[in-house]
Structure 1
Amino acid sequence: MNSALTDLLHAACSPSNLEVFLNKTLQILGGHTVFGSKAGLALVTGSGLRPAAIFKNFTKKEQALILAGKQPAGGLFLKVPLPSAGKERGMIAVRLDVCGPGKTEADSFLKTTAELAGARLAQERRDRALNRERDNAAAIRHIEELYLACPGISLKEISRAVLDEGRRLTGSAFGFAGYLDPAAGSLVAITLTDDVWKKRCRVKDSPYIFKEFNGLWGWVLKKKKPLLTNDAAADPRASGVPQGHIKIDRFLGVPAIYDGKLLGILALANPAGPYGAQDLETAGRLAQVYAIILKRVLEEMRLAQESDKRQAIIASSRDIIYSAGADGKFTYISSRVRDYGYEPEELVGRSVLEFIHPEDVELAAKAFTDAIRSGKTLPLLSYRILKKDGSFFYA
């Protein structure tokens, strides 16, 4: 028994990955004389770790019973929970063919094995938690740096970066990141046009602008709440998928909300294994940074659209429209000034009074000073303005 304990200690302290450690543990148990090579052995790691369980000499049906917390028939079945941070996480179980005097020794050795395995699994969870936190922070930093380092980056590029990080960190096969059109209120799932959907989704003319919010992702937007389901087809919130659409087995969706306002969504689907609480936390953090960037980019787009409208109005006006600073120098002047021989850029930074007829300068200067002092716009005045050819016109 001392030799077996030594082997267990070496296995628990070795740098090998989790699956190798679990298999080694069962190998050591199977090699112990009190169990024997024909004993049924099971090691269930509990939630949050993969592989979730390994078995030896149990049928598929018996494995399912053990995972469901039930006892398979036949022989003597011993079960010991795996302790970790004061909580039971998984178990070690063994089925002996006969009851004999070795039961006490078997039970004692199982408990010792459970202590060692529990300590190794606790360390595994800590390491994975640290790695996940590091990966999450790196992903968020990457998205933020992409936005800050690339002025004018498109919403599709930002959405693509958020989706890529979400898929990578959660192991999701598919997904999309999209934003709500501030004017129309529709969802623009801009990443749905990417190759992965074009190649795998056989729905003809798949839209990426949705006016109605249906199914699982629609529930996320309507309720402004995250949703995680590992049985999408049976989820009552699902509305099914059209023929030819990618089959959704597992779904994770998180709304992108900034200051209480819904701005978009990050939706993920079909990882190799079930989604867990850590995946939900990861998607939530990505959705938070996505919402912050969406807020800024959508505001920039709104201001740009307003500026374009103003420029269109100014360009269509027959009047010269200008602005000047407190020092009386032009800060902006419309293109209509070309009618009088000037280019707008050659006037910006020069004094307004420089272009007023000498006899009208005093009147214009007083009006300008009064406007600065009162904060009101200049009154309508008639004074003469110098053309580039040296002649004057009344404005």
Structure 2
Amino acid sequence: MIDEDLSILREKIQEMLPDSNLKEISDVIWEETKRRLKSKNCYVAFVDPENKDSVGISFSHLTPECQMYAEMGEARFKVRKDGSYGGLLGYSLDTGESLYVHNVAEHPAAHGIPQGHEPVDQFLSVPVKFNNEILGQIVVGNPEKDYNNHDLEIAENIAEIYGMVLKELLYKK
């Protein structure tokens, strides 16, 4: 059922690929993820192939700085010297695992949110992979109803579609 439901999205993205840029496709992924997971907020990012930074390209505005990042075209989170990203936002990038959390503050990877950041009561994150290589992540928060395994599966399927896009546009050798 999920695969059938997402086949329309997959076809739309494949049709966009020849003529669209990464931002245009990421915006579609962002909108579809928010809609399908009934979430107020979403963050769609890729891992920069040059320096491994996590680069948010389509994202909800949760801080006063988000408008500035949107005008810059990205919100960049530098990879640490040890190769990790840290925190709950970096969890899927660090572990390659998908997760959802109903109480963000209680997750061991959580280390708080920046001053001025809108509260996030629930959080779902999936790594974006192609052939088991992590190329990005999709994160949603503040859903209308509690996240569950079905939501995680939907997000993982959307991430699979986005992985194909990132491979084609950024990682093609």
TM-score of the two chains, using structure 2 as the length reference: 0.85
Higher helix share: 1
Contact 1:179-1:265 within 8 A present in 2 as well: yes
Match of 1:265 in 2: 137
Contact 2:3-2:157 within 8 A present in 1 as well: no
Give per-residue Cα distances to partners, 1:23-66, cap 9 Å, x unaligned: xxxxxxxxxxxxxxxxxxxxxxxxxxxxxxxxxxxxxxxxxxxx
Q: Which runs of 5+ in 1 are unaligned?
A: 1-129, 303-395
Match of 1:182 in 2: 49
**CA apart distance, 1:134:** 4.4
Q: Does 2:118 correspond to 1:256?
A: no
Superposed CA RMSD: 2.0
Q: Please state whether the residue corresponding to 2:5 is helix, strand or coil.
A: helix
**CA apart distance, 1:162:** 1.1
Q: Please state whether the residue corresponding to 2:11 is helix, strand or coil.
A: helix
Compared CA separation, residues 162 and 235, structure 1 to 2 (3 A): same
Match of 2:8 in 1: 138
RCO comparison, higher one (Cα < 8 Å, 6+):
2
Q: Please state whether the residue corresponding to 2:127 is helix, strand or coil.
A: strand
Q: Counterparts of 2:113 and 2:101 in 1: how far apart (Å)?
A: 16
**CA apart distance, 1:138:** 2.4
Larger Rg: 1
Give per-residue Cα distances to partners, 1:56-97, cap 9 Å, x unaligned: xxxxxxxxxxxxxxxxxxxxxxxxxxxxxxxxxxxxxxxxxx
Match of 1:25 in 2: none
Give per-residue Cα distances to partners, 1:155-185, cap 9 Å, x unaligned: 1111111111111111011111111111111
Specify the code of the residue in structure 2 equivalent to 1:142: K
Q: Counterparts of 2:138 and 2:164 in 1: how far apart (Å)?
A: 13
Contact 2:96-2:127 within 8 A present in 1 as well: yes
Match of 1:278 in 2: 150
Q: Which runs of 5+ in 2 are unaligned?
A: 80-84
TM-score of the two chains, using structure 1 as the length reference: 0.39
Where do 1:1-395 residues align within 5 Å? Answer: 130=1, 134-147=4-17, 151-192=18-59, 196-197=60-61, 200-203=62-65, 208-212=75-79, 213-299=85-171
Specify the code of the residue in structure 2 equivalent to 1:210: F
Q: Counterparts of 2:136 and 2:22 in 1: how far apart (Å)?
A: 11
Between 1:230-239 and 1:277-286, the stretch displaced more is: 230-239
% identical equivalent positions: 31
Q: Counterparts of 1:240 and 1:279 in 2: how far apart (Å)?
A: 24
Contact 1:263-1:294 within 8 A present in 2 as well: yes
Number of residue pairs matched?
A: 163
Q: Counterparts of 2:148 and 2:161 in 1: how far apart (Å)?
A: 21
Specify the code of the residue in structure 2 equivalent to 1:248: V
Stretches (4+) displaced over 4 A: 203-207
Q: Counterparts of 1:184 and 1:211 in 2: how far apart (Å)?
A: 9
